[in-house]
Structure 1
Amino acid sequence: MNKILLNAAVLLLLLPAPSSAIITVASEIDRLQEQNNHLIIALFISLLLFGFITSVLTNRSTKVTKLSNELNQKKHVENYIDILSHQIGSHTTIIVSAAKSLLDRQLDPKKNTEYLKKIIRRGGELNTLTDRLLELAKIDQITSIDNPDNFNLTMLINKTINDFSGRLLAKNIFVAFDKTTPIGINSDKILTQEAFENIINNAIDFSPIDGSINIQLAKSNNTITVKVLDQGAGIPEYAQAKIFERYYSTARPDTNQKGNGLGLQFVKKIMDLHGGSVTIDNRKNTNGVIATLQFPQ
C-alpha cells in the first residue's frame, strides 16, 4: 500500500493539470490496487499449494518411517524367535536326556528323584527363559540389565555341570572345577546360566572322547571372570573372525555336523547387555580353545 501511495504522489508531481492529475492518479491507484490484489491471490494460492505439498510429503514420510519401523521390528522379533528356538532345543535336550535315564537304567529311588527334579527344574527354567526372551524381543532399544539378580555363581556353575552329566558321561569327558568358595554376582541369573550353558555345550561338542574340560572362576578388580578350557581341535584360522556371527558354525568333529550358529551370538548378546565381554581363542601350545566370560560388578 505504501508503494501505491508513493507512485501516486510521484505522478501527482509530474502531471501538469490538477484535474487530470487527480483522474490519472485515481486510475493508477485502481490499476495498482488490482495488480496488488492479483499478487495477493497468487501468493495465497501458492501458500495453499505449498501447504498441500508439504502435507502430502509429510504424510508420505510418516508412512515410510512407520513401514521402516515395522520392518525393523519384524526383523527384531524374528531374531529373538530364532534365538528362542535354539534355547528351547538346548533345554529339551537335557530334559529328554534325563527322561531317557529314567527309562533306560535301573536306578535307585534317590537317582529317580534326582532326574525327576532336574526335569521339573528345567521345565520351569524354560518357561522363565521364554518369558524373558519375549520381553527382550519387545524392547528394541535395551542396552543393559536394569534389575540384576544377586546369586551364588559357584553354585550355578556346579548345577550346570551336573545338568550336563548325561552328555559328559556319553563321551567320558572329565570336568575339572574345584571351586567351593561362594562367589556372589550381580547379573540376570537366567541369562547368565544360558550364556554359561552355551559355552559348556560347545566345549562338549568339540571335545574328543576321553577328553577333559577345565573351568576356572575368579573375582578381582570388580570383575568376575569365568574361563572354560577344552581339548578340542581349536578354531580354524578362517573361522576365527566369524564365530560370533549369526548362523555361522563349524562342523563338530565327531558328527561332522554344524550347529545353527545362534548359540555364540546369543552369548554375546547376553554379555553385551551386562556390559561384559566374551572371547574365544585358541589355547597356546596345546589343543583346544579357551572361552572367557567377564562380568563387571
Structure 2
Amino acid sequence: MRLGLRFFLVYALFIGFTGYFVLNTVMKEIRPGVRQSTEETLVDTANLLAEILRNDVKNGTLAQSHWPELLKAYGTRQPGATIWGLPKNQVNHRIYVTDANGMVLLDSSGEAVGQDYSKWNDVYLTLRGEYGARSTRSAPDDPASSVMHVGAPIRDNGQIIGVVTVAKPNSSLQPYVDRTEHRLLWYGAGLVILGLLLGALLSWWLSVALRRLTAYAEAVSEGRRAELPHYRGGELKQLSTAVEHMRTQLEGKAYVEHYVHTLTHELKSPLAAIRGAAELLQGDMSREQQQRFVGNIDSESTRLQQLIERLLNLAQVEQRQGLEAQASLPLAALVDDVLKAQCARIEGAGLCIEQTIGAEVKVFGEPFLLRQALGNLLDNALDFTPAGGVLRFSAQTRHNAVQVSLFNQAAPIPDYALPRLSERFYSLPRPASGRKSTGLGLNFVEEVMKLHGGTLQIGNVHGGVQVVLHLHTVSTLPT
C-alpha cells in the first residue's frame, strides 16, 4: 500500500472517529441543554406569579378574582412569532395554583380545580420548603408527551400558604431541538467532508512529491538523465538535496573509476607503439626507416591527443543533467561553420559538398555542443568517403521537430556493426588507412542529442550512409 494512501486512511479514521465522538457528545447534550434552559425560565416565571398571586391566595379571593378570566384569555392568545426560523402561533404554559393542603384553587386549563395535587412532586416538595419540580407524561406510553412542571411557594410572612406551578410540554421544545440537531449534523458532516478533502489533497501532494523523487532516483540508478525535483522548503527539499548529493558522490566515484580503467586500456596500444618506435630509433637504421618510425610516433601521439580531448569532452557531456546556454540557432550557419573548419581536407579529397538547408530552418539548443556534434559527424563521414565522393547536408521541418540529415557516399556499414556504432570505443577500420579511430565521436553525438531531447539514427541508404539527427524546435524543447 502506498504511503500517501496509508496517510490518508489514518487521517480519515482520525477525522471520522473524532467527528463521530464530538457530534455524538454534542447531540446528547442538545436535548438536556434546551430543557435546562426552559426549566430555568419556568422557575423565574413561577416565582414571579407567586408574588403576584399572594394577596388573592391569602385572602381566599382567587376564584372570585379576575385571574380565571385572565388565564383563560392567555390560553387563547396567538403570538405569531418566528423564533430561529420556526413559527410560534400558540402559548404552551399551563398554570395552576394550590392551597397549603395541595388542593387546586385555579387552573388555566380549567380541568383540575378542586382536585388534590398534594402528592405531585411539584406541590409536595414545594410545600415542604424544597425545590419542587417534576416531569410527567400526559400519555404514559408516549415519551414525547412529557411535560415539565416547576412549582414556587406562595408565602405570607415566611409561611407557605400555597403553591403556583408553571408547566410546559416538551413537545413545544422539540422543533427547536430537531432544528438544532439537523443543522449540527449538516455542519458536522460538512466539516468532516472538508477535512477528508484536505487530507486527500495533502496525501496526493505527498504522493506526487515522493513519486517524483522515486522516479528521479530510478532514472539515476539506470543511468538516464533526469531533472532533480524542486521544492520550496521543508523536509522534502532537504530530502531532494540529500538525494542529489548522494547521486553526485556515488556517480562521481563510479565515473572516475570507470574512466580510469577505460583510459588505461585505451592508452596501452599507442604508448606501446611510441615506445617501440623510440627503442628502434636508438639503433642503427637507414634514413628512410627513421622517417617511418618518426611518422609512427607522430601519428600515435596525435591519436593520444585526440583520445584524451574526446574523453574530456565526452566526460563533460555525460556528467551534465541539462543544457546551460540555450539559443535559437540557424542550422545552415552551423553547418557552414563545420564545413569551413574541414575545407582543407574536403578540397584535398576533391569531395562534392551539397548543402541544401534553408536559411529559415532553426534549431534550439546549446551552440557549442551542437557545433561539436555536427563536427564529429562530418569528421566521421570524411573518414569513410572516397576521393571525389559526395557529402550532402539537408534538413526537414516536421511539426515541432527538425530532422537534420548527413549523407556520405561510402560502402555500406556491415549489419553487425550498425547497432554498435554509437557505443563507446567501438570503431570500424578506415578505408584509407585500415586503422580505427578513438570510437568516441558518435558516442559524443548521441550524448549531445540526449541532452537536447533528440535522437541519433545511422543507417545504410542507396549509394552510401545517412546519419539523421532529430532535434526539437523552440516550442517543444524540454526544459
Instruction: Please give the range of the TM-score, normalised by the shorter of the 2 chains.
Output: 0.5 to 0.7
The answer as to 2:250 corresponding to 1:72 is no
Aligned twin of 1:217: 395
Alignment partner of 2:439: what SS?
Answer: coil
Structure-2 separation of matches of 1:271 and 1:207: 24
The answer as to 2:473 corresponding to 1:291 is no
Which segments of 5 or more consecutive residues in structure 2 lack a partner in the other structure? Answer: 1-246, 268-308, 474-479
The answer as to 2:363 corresponding to 1:181 is no
The answer as to 2:373 corresponding to 1:195 is yes
- Structure 1, 287-296 or 173-182: larger mean CA deviation: 173-182
The correspondence for 2:327, drawn from 133, 145, 149, is 149
The correspondence for 1:270, drawn from 448, 452, 475, is 448
Report if aligned partners of 1:150, 1:187 keep a CA contact under 8 Å in 2. Answer: yes
Report if aligned partners of 1:173, 1:209 keep a CA contact under 8 Å in 2. Answer: yes
From the superposition, tell whether residues 287 and 79 of structure 1 become closer, same or farther in structure 2 (CA, over 3 Å): farther
Report if aligned partners of 2:363, 2:472 keep a CA contact under 8 Å in 1. Answer: no
Structure-2 separation of matches of 1:193 and 1:80: 26
Shift, 1:181, TM fit = 2.1
Structure-2 separation of matches of 1:228 and 1:134: 22
From the superposition, tell whether residues 80 and 153 of structure 1 become closer, same or farther in structure 2 (CA, over 3 Å): farther
Partner amino acid, structure 1, of 2:256: K
Shift, 1:273, TM fit = 0.7
Shift, 1:165, TM fit = 0.8
Alignment partner of 2:370: what SS?
Answer: helix
Partner amino acid, structure 2, of 1:291: V
Report if aligned partners of 2:323, 2:365 keep a CA contact under 8 Å in 1. Answer: yes
Alignment partner of 2:420: what SS?
Answer: coil
From the superposition, tell whether residues 187 and 80 of structure 1 become closer, same or farther in structure 2 (CA, over 3 Å): farther
Q: How many equivalent pairs are there?
A: 183
Q: Which structure features the higher share of helix residues? A: 1
1:237-276 superposed matches below 5 A: 237-276=415-454
Structure-1 separation of matches of 2:350 and 2:333: 23
Alignment partner of 1:258: what SS?
Answer: coil
1:90-137 superposed Cα distances (whole Å, 9 cap, x missing partner): xxxxxxxxxxxxxxxxxxxxxxxxxxxxxxxxxxxxxxx99x959946
Aligned twin of 2:341: 163
From the superposition, tell whether residues 192 and 80 of structure 1 become closer, same or farther in structure 2 (CA, over 3 Å): farther
Aligned twin of 2:11: none
**Greater relative CO, 1 or 2 (CA 8 Å, sep 6+):** 1
Aligned twin of 2:408: 230
Shift, 1:67, TM fit = 8.8
Structure-2 separation of matches of 1:74 and 1:207: 36
Structure-1 separation of matches of 2:349 and 2:393: 18
Report if aligned partners of 2:356, 2:395 keep a CA contact under 8 Å in 1. Answer: no
Report if aligned partners of 2:423, 2:443 keep a CA contact under 8 Å in 1. Answer: yes
Partner amino acid, structure 2, of 1:231: Q
1:22-37 superposed matches below 5 A: none
Structure-2 separation of matches of 1:169 and 1:271: 29
Alignment partner of 2:409: what SS?
Answer: coil
The correspondence for 2:460, drawn from 275, 278, 282, is 282
Report if aligned partners of 2:331, 2:359 keep a CA contact under 8 Å in 1. Answer: no
TM score, norm. by length of structure 1: 0.55
1:35-114 superposed matches below 5 A: 71-75=253-257
From the superposition, tell whether residues 190 and 147 of structure 1 become closer, same or farther in structure 2 (CA, over 3 Å): closer
Partner amino acid, structure 2, of 1:292: V
Report if aligned partners of 1:219, 1:225 keep a CA contact under 8 Å in 2. Answer: yes
Report if aligned partners of 1:144, 1:272 keep a CA contact under 8 Å in 2. Answer: no
Shift, 1:153, TM fit = 1.6
Report if aligned partners of 1:280, 1:289 keep a CA contact under 8 Å in 2. Answer: yes
Alignment partner of 2:411: what SS?
Answer: coil
Say what the alpha-carbon RMSD is for the aligned residues.
Answer: 3.2
- Structure 1, 151-160 or 185-194: larger mean CA deviation: 151-160
Alignment partner of 1:241: what SS?
Answer: helix
Alignment partner of 1:145: what SS?
Answer: coil
TM score, norm. by length of structure 2: 0.35
Shift, 1:244, TM fit = 1.0
Report if aligned partners of 2:357, 2:395 keep a CA contact under 8 Å in 1. Answer: yes
From the superposition, tell whether residues 79 and 146 of structure 1 become closer, same or farther in structure 2 (CA, over 3 Å): farther
1:264-290 superposed Cα distances (whole Å, 9 cap, x missing partner): 00000000111100010011xx33110
Percent of residue pairs identical:
25
Report if aligned partners of 1:172, 1:211 keep a CA contact under 8 Å in 2. Answer: yes
Structure-2 separation of matches of 1:238 and 1:135: 27
Partner amino acid, structure 2, of 1:144: G
Shift, 1:169, TM fit = 0.9
From the superposition, tell whether residues 66 and 163 of structure 1 become closer, same or farther in structure 2 (CA, over 3 Å): closer
Report if aligned partners of 1:155, 1:182 keep a CA contact under 8 Å in 2. Answer: no
From the superposition, tell whether residues 173 and 266 of structure 1 become closer, same or farther in structure 2 (CA, over 3 Å): same
Report if aligned partners of 1:281, 1:291 keep a CA contact under 8 Å in 2. Answer: yes
From the superposition, tell whether residues 161 and 143 of structure 1 become closer, same or farther in structure 2 (CA, over 3 Å): same
